[in-house]
Amino acid sequence: MADRQAYNIVLPLLSKDLGLDPVHAGLVASIFLWFYAALVPVGGFLGDIARRKWVVFGSLLLWSVGTIMSGMTTGLIGLILFRSVATGGGEAFYFPSANSLIGQHHQKTRALAMSIHQTALYVGIIASGFVAGWLGEHYGWRSAFVVFGSVGVLLALTIGWRMRDDPQPAKAAAVQKVPVGELLRAIAGKPTVWALWLAFSCFYFAQIGYITWMPTFLHEKFHLSLSNAGFSSMFYHHIAAAVGVLLGGRISDMLASKRRTARIETEFVGLFFGAPFIFLMGITGNFWLCCLGLAGFGLFRGVYDSNLYAVLFDVIEPRYRSSAVGLMLSVVFFVSAFAPVVLGWAKTTVGLSTALAALSLAYVAGATVLAFARKMTFRRDYYDEGAAAAQKV
């Protein structure tokens, strides 16, 4: 995630050097997400039928090389080719297989295990916030892409050497023989899945708008240096998110053993209580109140993140879970891909302050959808793994 965020951190320098206006700068980020959305279902299905270790390895290697090449481009077309296509396409194959592996080994502690995995994303973004800004100021914006991409290549080689590749459960081998239509019915035939997709889309639209434009917002509104703006925009939010994701994962795991709806309720709390902090973050003219908004937004973002995939797995059979993650990410990334270009347009009309504050409405909409699903569809769609295991015995 650090290499993805590097683009947003050095965006003011990159835009000036390559002559990009806000709409074109946002379009590069949007195309990245649309390309991701197109390929992530393929990555999900591949994670159900192939060796997941090598899917993760290939994904990381491809997007890291794409990141390095992004730092060598000379114009908009090169950015789209290397940043949007190569990097976005590479990342599309990672999360379905990675989360499928985690879910296979954790049932009672699934949310906590996935939360720990999610904290790596936060650490990468925080590091990128400062390091990419510092590199950009001292060595030019291209250096940030080359450094983070090179680290990614080394990590990919380490994964190929050291990562354990556990096979799918025996039953999952049947996925290779299941027609695509049957696979889609098993996933999209449940109303709760659609509700989770819609709520996640609202959540991620706000996240993408924030991570793309917040460094620029702080740089321009509060006149921070690029490194300080990059650090402040990511640090307060993601440190609080790391706390929220671990707390949310731990608490929901404890409650889920007694209350089936605990995970979807945790997601509702994350969206509903995060909305006021997003509004504060965007609308205030005081830097420290903005930081408070970032932290509160991050805390409840983490609470939501803690059950992002765990609640999906509550309603999906194990053998379809990688595909389910892939389809969900495809829908979500397609919708949220409009955020960078929409906020880029808003920057030239109503201003970034109003545009960022308005992202709180997406959180309110997502919370409303989850409340409806919890009451109307979740219990009917719930997949009881314990009962299913007992029937096999």
Torsion from C-alpha of 86, 91, 92, 95, nearest 10 degrees: 170
Number of other CB atoms surrounding residue 287 within 10 Å: 14
User: Could you write out the DSSP letters of every residue in 279-320?
Assistant: HHHHH-S-HHHHHHHHHHHHHHHHHHHTTTTHHHHTSS-GGG
Residue 392: alpha-carbon gap to chain centroid: 35
| Terminal Cα-to-Cα distance of the chain (whole angstroms) | 42
pLDDT(228) > 80: yes
The residue-averaged pLDDT of 380-386 equals 84
Q: How confident is the model at residue 388 (pLDDT cuts 50, 70, 90)?
A: low
Whether residue 7 has pLDDT greater than 70: yes
Residues 355, 343 contacting (CB under 8 angstroms): yes
Closest by alpha carbon to 229, among 129, 147, 296? Answer: 129
pLDDT at residue 174, as a whole number: 44
**Pseudo-torsion of CA 251, 252, 254, 258, nearest 10°?**
140
**87-96, 192-201, 282-291: which has the minimum mean pLDDT?**
87-96
Cα separation of 233 and 87, whole Å? Answer: 23
Per the CB < 8 A criterion, the answer to whether 357 and 282 are in contact is yes
Q: Is 50 helix (H, G, I), strand (E, B) or coil?
A: coil
CA 295/CA 241 separation, integer angstroms: 8
- How many distinct helices (H) and strands (E) make up the chain? 21, 0
Mean of pLDDT values over 60-67: 89
Tokens of 370: 């989850």
Cβ neighbours, 10 Å, residue 118: 20
Q: Is the pLDDT of residue 175 over 50?
A: no
Is domain 2-386 annotated with CATH 1.10.8.100?
A: no
Q: How many CA atoms lie within 13 A of 109 on its CB side?
A: 8
Give the span between the Cα atoms of 42 and 59, in whole angstroms.
12
Report whether pLDDT(204) > 90.
yes
pTM for this prediction: 0.80
Residue 63 pLDDT > 60, yes or no? yes
Amino acid at 218: L
| CA-closest candidate to residue 52, choices 16, 105, 7 | 105
Count CB neighbours of 124 within 10 A. Answer: 20
Contact 127, 99 (CB under 8 A): no
* Residue reference for tokens 């919370």: 367
Q: Which of 331, 87, 355 is nearest to 212 (CA)?
A: 355
Name the DSSP letter for residue 70.
H
Look-up: residue for tokens 């997949």?
383
Using one digit for the tens of pLDDT, what is the confidence trace for 9-39?
Answer: 898 899 999 999 999 989 998 888 888 888 8
For residue 261, pLDDT beyond 50 = yes
Where b means 16+ CB within 10 Å and e means fewer, 37-74 reads bebbbbbbbbbbbbebbebbbbbbbbbbbbbbbbbebe
Cβ atoms of 282 and 359 within 8 Å: the answer is yes
298: region left, alpha or beta (phi > 0 left; psi from -120 to 50 alpha): alpha
- Banded pLDDT at 323 (limits 50, 70, 90): confident
Range from 53-57, 126-130, 335-339 that averages highest in pLDDT = 335-339
* φ, ψ at 319 (rounded to 5°): -70, -10
pLDDT score, position 171: 46
Q: What would the mean pLDDT of 323-343 be, rounded to a whole number?
A: 90
Of 241, 356, 243, give the one whose Cα is nearest residue 297.
Answer: 241
Among 301, 250, 239, 236, which Cα is nearest to 273's?
301
Note whether 266 and 199 are within 8 A (CB). no
pLDDT of residue 387: 65
Other residues' Cβ atoms within 10 Å of the Cβ of residue 151: 16
- Asked if 229 contacts 218 with a C-beta cutoff of 8 angstroms, the reply is yes
